[in-house]
Amino acid sequence: MEEIRVFCPATIANISCGFDVLGVALDNVGDEMVIRKTKKKGIRITRLEGQDLPLETERNVAGVAGLAFLEASGHQGGFDIEIYKSIKAGSGIGSSAASSAGAVWAMNELLGRPFAPKQLVPFAMLGEKLASEVAHADNVAPALLGGFVLVRSYDPLDMVQIPVPKELHAVVVHPQIEVKTSDSRKILRTSVTLTTAIKQWGNLGGLVAGLFMEDYALIGRSLEDHIVEPIRSILIPGYGEVKSAAMQAGALGCGISGSGPSLFAFAKGQEAALNIAKAMTAVYEPIALDFEVHVSKINPTGVKKISTL
Ligand code: HSE
């Protein structure tokens, strides 16, 4: 195999109560990439369509993640990377993670899988460090492993894959403003009270238990964020209205996707998800603000092969 084309999924990080430690991969929202083995050493971004992002390897998230992978693999040649972006940068659905994860997953395939999927996460995290100044794993881990992933610990890195309830669907509404993850991290408080922490870890435990038990009501009750949402929601136009529209339309829960400005809602079943999407859309339609809506199942596998040569 000399060349591989892959689908690189969008992801929802944080999922309300799991700031920096929980994320999930989407099924039908994502980018494509083509990675080609070369005799020439090093990594080159040979094509980048859909977004205005750096082409220099050291300034591109896929380039940086790929360089770390290449060095660790000991491979003597190199790779050319083509990136076809559908996910907008600064959308809150893991644009940089899709590129970093896609690059290292594809390179690993081309070299005959020298690394297990979990071992690819640290390489992809370097792309996140370049994009947001912090090597968070809550987008790249689900992008690489699929489904829901809990980052139980960063040092040492310890990730737990969580089963996906069969009927769970995600709705993502992306108001078309750009919020840089690095900026939306700087506005967060660096300490929380014990009272707030108790609420947050109660919800995180509840959410993980709800996912394991396919208990949709428990999942819904646990989708609360007492730490990040009160601050970041200020950056999102109409946040309160869109969230209440989603909840009134039957969402299990609704919150900020990653660092925003996208909002996500979870639903039991596709029909419910489509109704929720409609209700959320109805809030933005009269406002002179462009937005995109996605309704997606959960992606159980992460980055996927489309074709090979
Ligand atoms: N956990 C990260 C943050 C995700 O919220 O800053 C960024 O997509």
List pLDDT tens digits, range 158-198: 999 999 999 999 999 999 988 899 999 999 999 999 999 99
- For the chain, how many structural domains are there in total? 2
Cα distances (Å, whole numbers) of residue 240 to 236, 247, 285: 9, 11, 15
> Do 102 and 153 belong to one domain?
yes
> Do 142 and 17 belong to one domain?
yes
> Do 77 and 180 belong to one domain?
no
Q: pLDDT grade, residue 287 (50/70/90)? A: confident
Residues 30/154, Cβ–Cβ less than 8 Å: no
Which of the residues 11, 32, 128, 224 is marked catalytic? 128
Q: Which residues contact 58 (CB under 8 A, 6 or more apart)?
A: 64, 67
Pairing type for strands 42-49 and 78-84 reads: parallel
Residue 268 predicted with pLDDT over 80: yes
Residue 230 predicted with pLDDT over 80: yes
3-state secondary structure of 158: strand
> Do 156 and 184 belong to one domain?
no
Rounded to 10 degrees, the C-alpha dihedral 226/15/233/19 comes to 60
> Do 159 and 262 belong to one domain?
no
> Do 283 and 182 belong to one domain?
yes
Kindly report the CATH number assigned to the domain that includes residue 138: 3.30.230.10
Kindly report the CATH number assigned to the domain that includes residue 246: 3.30.70.890
> Do 56 and 139 belong to one domain?
yes
Fill in the amino acid letter for 47.
R
Question: Is 258 a pocket residue for ligand 1 (Cβ < 6 Å)?
Answer: yes
Q: In terms of Cα–Cα distance, which of 166, 167, 161, 159 is closest to 147?
A: 161
Taking residues 208-221, what's their average pLDDT? 98
The residue whose CA is least distant from atom 3 of ligand 1 is 259
> Do 258 and 132 belong to one domain?
no
> How many angstroms is it from 256 CA to the middle of ligand 1?
10
Q: In terms of Cα–Cα distance, which of 211, 218, 226 is closest to 24?
A: 211
Residue 49 predicted with pLDDT over 80: yes
Q: What is the pLDDT of residues 69-97, one digit of tens each?
A: 999 999 999 999 999 999 999 999 999 99
The pLDDT value recorded for residue 279 is: 98
> Do 134 and 33 belong to one domain?
yes
> Do 180 and 152 belong to one domain?
no
Q: What is the pLDDT of residues 101-153, one digit of tens each?
A: 999 999 999 999 999 999 999 999 999 999 999 999 999 999 999 999 999 99
Any catalytic annotation for residue 38? no
> Do 204 and 72 belong to one domain?
no
> How many angstroms is it from 259 CA to the middle of ligand 1?
5
CA angle centred on 113, ends 307 and 139, rounded to 5°: 75
> Which atom from ligand 1 is nearest to the alpha carbon of 228?
5
The pLDDT value recorded for residue 178 is: 86
Any catalytic annotation for residue 71? no
Residue 259 predicted with pLDDT over 90: yes
How many residues appear in the chain? 309
Pairing type for strands 157-162 and 168-175 reads: unpaired
Element counts in the chain: helices (H) and strands (E): 10, 11
| pLDDT-above-90 percentage for the chain | 97
Enumerate the H helices of the chain as residue ranges.
61-73, 95-110, 117-132, 140-145, 181-186, 194-213, 216-222, 229-232, 239-248, 270-284
The pLDDT value recorded for residue 1 is: 92
> Do 240 and 146 belong to one domain?
no
* Rounded Cα distance, 257 and 137, in Å: 15
Average per-residue pLDDT in the chain? 97
* Rounded Cα distance, 98 and 89, in Å: 11
Q: pLDDT grade, residue 289 (50/70/90)? A: confident
Name the residue range of residue 21's domain.
3-163+299-308
Pairing type for strands 157-162 and 148-154 reads: antiparallel
